[in-house]
Structure 1
Amino acid sequence: MSTLRVTAEVLTIHEHPNADALELAQVGLYRAVVAKGAYRSGDIAVYIPEQAVLPAGLIEELGLTGRLAGRASDRVKAVRLRGELSQGIVCRPKALTETDLERAATEGTDFAGLLGITKWSPPIPPTMSGEVESAPELLPWVDIENLQRYPDIFAPDEPVVLTEKLHGTACLVTYVASTGRLLVSSKGFGSKGLALREDPRNLYWRAVRGHGVAEVAARLAERFGAERVGIFGEVYGAGVQDLVYGADARSAALGFAAFDVCAEIGGRVEWLDAAELLDGELPLVPRLHEGPFALDKVLELASGRETVSGRELHLREGVVIRPAAERYSPVTGGRAIAKAVSPAYLTRKGGTEYE
């Protein structure tokens, strides 16, 4: 899940092809449906992204009572309005009437706190939970930003690699060489510096033990002389999310696919090529494309059918984009890595989003 920021943005307005009273306001590569005539290209307004949870007062002010997602009808979610995908909300809240939005757009001011907007946290099912403990040695995963929100992460024609984004739950594994200790966590617990104590009933520990992830991490630590090795993978199958890829997490047939690996060498954490190091050692997320970065190609591959099962059982969640050579991005302030998500995935019915 990407970071949540509520910012002022310069809009580009497009005609809505199926509604005379509506238009499309573009922010980055996102488009949100707005009332016709409410904005013109070049205007500045506040953009509230998906996964934002709004306070009741703001929901009422925006005329969205009963129209948002979640049990409390307070969460922003992608929807189709008259056939067009609408991602996020474009507005000018009364609380910002006296705010210089042009300056805020230039400075990247985050209004989430001022507006009482928070980030939605997915529920944690019992199989993904358990007893936790403080784990300062855990190597954390990073939030991946959406390419449509930050389209300048990659340069045109920059060599990139696209892998399939799986709809499961992220498993964080850290092997500590000095003690042989193994730390296992989820993305949610890991972001809080917590690890799950070993339990044979726990989904993540079952995946780690069932696929021999600990042994692979230990071999990598020895090979590189690393203090710590982190292996990051997706656990998937029936019983995890609504997309199952032909696997069943309620049995020994639970799915696991590694998507990243890092190592602390000489006190410095380096991100390494998972496909190069783990091929033949662990199942990997499918690699869909290697070549020069082209937005059209990325968006094309973000949609379609899944390739994990080899049987195209259901839709694809999306893709993850990485540079061919690991690098820093001034756009994200960290790793150059992004995701692009399928519109069909965003608007599917009965979808689950556990973490």
Structure 2
Amino acid sequence: MSTLRVTVEQVTIHEHPDADALELAQVGLYRAVVAKGVYRTGDFALYIPEQAVLPQELVAELGLTGKLAGSAADRVKAIRLRGELSQGIVCRPRALQGRDLARAGAEGTDFAAELGIAKWVPPVPISMGGEAEPAPDLLPWVDIENLKRYPEVFTEGEPVAVTEKVHGTACCLTYRAGDDRVQVTSKGLGAQRLALVEDSKNLYWRAVRAHRTAHVAAELAAELGASRVGVFGEVYGDGVQDLGYGADSRREEPAYAVFDVSVEIDGQVRWLAPEELTEVLDGRLPLVPTLFTGAYDAQRVMELAEGRETLSGRAVHVREGVVVRPLADRYSAVLGGRAIAKVVSGAYLTRKGGTEYE
């Protein structure tokens, strides 16, 4: 899940192709439907992204009572309005009247706390929960930001790998070579430096046991001379999320696919580059599908994010999206961290009955 930031952005206005009273306000590569004539290209306005939870006072002020997602109708979710995908809300709340919006935009001021806007936290099913314990030595996963919000992360022509984003739940394993300690956690708990106490009923522990992930991590530590190895995989299938990829993870062996590995060598933590990851694992663990390797082309990435999934080999439902990373792992000044970004498909965002457990 991306980091929640509620910032002032400069908008570009486009015609709505099928509604005379509506327009499209573009922020980065996102587009949000707005009333016609309220904004002009070059104007500054507040952008509230998807997965933001708004206080009811702000919901009412924006005229959105009963129109947002969630049981309290207060969560921003992608929708289609007259056929056009609308992601996020472009607005100018009263609380920002008299403020220098251009300056706030240039400084990147985050208005989330001031406006009482919070990040939506998905519910945790019983099968994914459990007793947790402190785990300061975990190798943590990182939040992946959306390429539509940060289109400058990659440059055209840069060598990249594009992998399929799998709709499951992230299972994070850390192996420590010194004492053979294995810690397993979810993305949410891992961010709090908490690990799940081993439990045969827990989905994450079931997955790493079934696929011998800890054993493979120990082999990698020995082969690479690493003191710690982090293996990050997606547990998926029926019983995990609404998109099951034709697998049933309620059985003994939950479906599982690795999307990243990090290693600590001589005190330095690094991520294995995409091609290195495939070579090092050498078939010992299943990997998420790679859809493209080559020169970065923003338009092609957007196209790859759509369509049907390839993980099952049978295209059983829509694709969640894609993840993009450079072939040579690097730092991104745009993100202030690792250069990695995602694009989520419009069909996935607007599907009915979707689940977002974490």
TM bin, normalised by shorter chain, reads over 0.9
Find out whether 1:346 has 2:349 as its counterpart. Answer: yes
**What residue number does 2:43 align with?**
43
CA contact (8 A) 2:206 2:253 kept: no
CA contact (8 A) 1:247 1:253 kept: no
CA contact (8 A) 1:228 1:264 kept: yes
Give structure 2 stretches of 5+ with no counterpart: none
- Structure 1 segment 53-72 matched on structure 2, within 5 A: 53-72=53-72
Aligned amino acid, residue 339 of structure 2: A
Q: Secondary structure of 1:46's partner?
A: strand
**What residue number does 1:150 align with?**
150
**What residue number does 1:287 align with?**
290
Find out whether 1:260 has 2:260 as its counterpart. Answer: yes
Q: Deviations over 1:224-282 (max 9, x none)?
A: 22111000000001000001111111002421000000111111101113222223110
CA contact (8 A) 1:4 1:119 kept: yes
Find out whether 1:322 has 2:329 as its counterpart. Answer: no
Count of residues paired in the alignment? 355
Q: Secondary structure of 2:69's partner?
A: coil
Aligned amino acid, residue 286 of structure 2: P
**What residue number does 2:82 align with?**
82
TM-score by length of 1: 0.99
CA contact (8 A) 2:199 2:205 kept: yes
Cα RMSD after superposing both structures: 0.6
**What residue number does 2:184 align with?**
184
Aligned amino acid, residue 104 of structure 2: A
Distance (whole Å) between structure 2 residues aligned to residue 187 and residue 340 of structure 1: 19
Find out whether 1:199 has 2:199 as its counterpart. Answer: yes
1:162 Cα deviation from its structure 2 partner: 0.4
Aligned amino acid, residue 196 of structure 1: L
**What residue number does 1:271 align with?**
271
**What residue number does 1:300 align with?**
303
Distance (whole Å) between structure 2 residues aligned to residue 224 and residue 103 of structure 1: 48
CA contact (8 A) 1:135 1:194 kept: yes
Distance (whole Å) between structure 1 residues aligned to residue 248 and residue 176 of structure 2: 30
CA contact (8 A) 2:210 2:253 kept: no
Aligned amino acid, residue 300 of structure 2: K
Q: Secondary structure of 1:114's partner?
A: helix
Give structure 1 stretches of 5+ with no counterpart: none
1:223 Cα deviation from its structure 2 partner: 1.2
- Structure 1 segment 93-108 matched on structure 2, within 5 A: 93-108=93-108
Distance (whole Å) between structure 2 residues aligned to residue 268 and residue 98 of structure 1: 48
Q: Secondary structure of 1:69's partner?
A: coil
Q: Deviations over 1:268-316 (max 9, x none)?
A: 1011132222231100000100010001110111011111111111110
CA contact (8 A) 2:6 2:46 kept: yes
Distance (whole Å) between structure 2 residues aligned to residue 276 and residue 289 of structure 1: 17
1:99 Cα deviation from its structure 2 partner: 1.4
Distance (whole Å) between structure 2 residues aligned to residue 99 and residue 172 of structure 1: 43
Aligned amino acid, residue 12 of structure 1: T
What stretches of structure 1 move > 4 A for 4+ residues in a row? none
Q: Secondary structure of 1:95's partner?
A: helix
